Amino acid sequence: MITVKVPATSANVGAGFDALGLALDLFNTVTFELSDKLVIASTDNTPVPTGTDNLVYRAACATFEFCGRPVPAMKILQENPIPMARGLGSSSACIVAGILGANALMGSPLSDREMLHLAAGIEGHPDNVAPALLGGFVASVMDEDAVYSVKKDISEQLAFAAFIPNFPLLTEKSRAVLPKELSYRSAVYNLSRAALATAAFCDGDYELLGVATKDAMHQQYRLPLIPGGEEIFSKAKELGALAVYISGAGPTIMAVVRRSDEAFFASANEWLTRAKEAGKNVGAFEVKHLLAANHGAVVQ
């Protein structure tokens, strides 16, 4: 039996649309065994497709086909603590798990670069699959169907407050509200901040993240799809977050905080509890205390 653990991811990190992402210590676990028939099941009662449309299975099939091997019958068991359709990379975790599981079943013929290329091809962009596979903070680009990535470990001084709502937001809907064109001014605004965010993570100058995660490309269009999102942004900054941004396509709002700032989480929890009792939009959110996952996906 082969076991694959894949971390949650938080893409874009503000201005780095489809290019930046980081891995978090919340892991999906998938086990693979050769079998006499296809069996797919959930071990934690999370509903998952049990047929050939299952994303883990589809990614595994693509990996066998990429290697020119026939697809064998498999037993796939999934444990899914990463919430689905919440902007925390649940789809990428499935894709990476399927690729790593199939690769391991074949005796590991593929390199990390080949698996990243395959994962990005399935997902369509590398911002989630790259940190899911590699861990840490990752800057990635796709050029002529090839993926180029640079990974940097994230300091243990940082923690991440994921404000996760009890409602989903499909990526298709979140992308549909984005403008078809951007002004030159907006493009420069985002390019400069994405570059600054990358430099800040590489240099460890996290005080720059408040400026570096500002965005003129997608967040202002997506926030109206997240009831309570603007209040989360405002409150997280008020409580001392280093940076606040929409995680991936949303609806999760991510705050970057200092690991030593336990008061942030206590105050955020108290505020959300009061909001829930008052029936406010932000009452639909819970805050989850996460750390960076610098090692990425692992096969056991």
The answer on 127 and 6 residing in a single domain is yes
Q: What is the pLDDT of residue 144?
A: 84
Across 228-250, b (16+ Cβ under 10 Å) vs e yields bbebbbebbeebebbbbbbbbbb
Phi, psi at residue 10, to the nearest 5°? -130, 110
Same domain as 126, residue 178: no
Does 126 share its domain with 226?
no
The residue range of the domain holding 25 is 2-153+295-299
**Total domains present in the chain:** 2
Alpha-carbon torsion angle 108, 113, 118, 119, nearest 10: 100
Same domain, 132 and 68: yes
**Cα dist from 277 to 165, 228, 229, 264, 271, whole Å:** 15, 15, 18, 20, 10
Cα distance between residue 22 and residue 8, in whole Å: 9
124 SS3 class: coil
* Residue 179 and residue 221 in one domain: yes
Find the CATH number of the domain harbouring 173.
Answer: 3.30.70.890
150-175 pLDDT per residue, tens: 999 999 999 999 999 999 999 999 99
- For residues 68 and 139, membership in a common domain is answered with yes
226-258 pLDDT per residue, tens: 999 999 999 999 999 999 999 999 999 999 999
Q: Report, as ranges of residue numbers, the positions in the chain whose pLDDT lies below 50.
A: none
In DSSP terms, 263 is beta-bridged to none
Q: Are both 69 and 190 inside the same structural domain? A: no
- The reply to whether 77 and 179 lie within a common domain is no
Please tell me whether residues 177 and 275 are part of one structural domain. Answer: yes
Q: Are residues 149 and 190 in the same domain?
A: no
pLDDT at residue number 145: 79
Q: What is the CATH number of the domain that holds 91?
A: 3.30.230.10
Q: Is the same domain home to 141 and 170?
A: no
Rounded CA-CA distance 171/248 in Å is 9
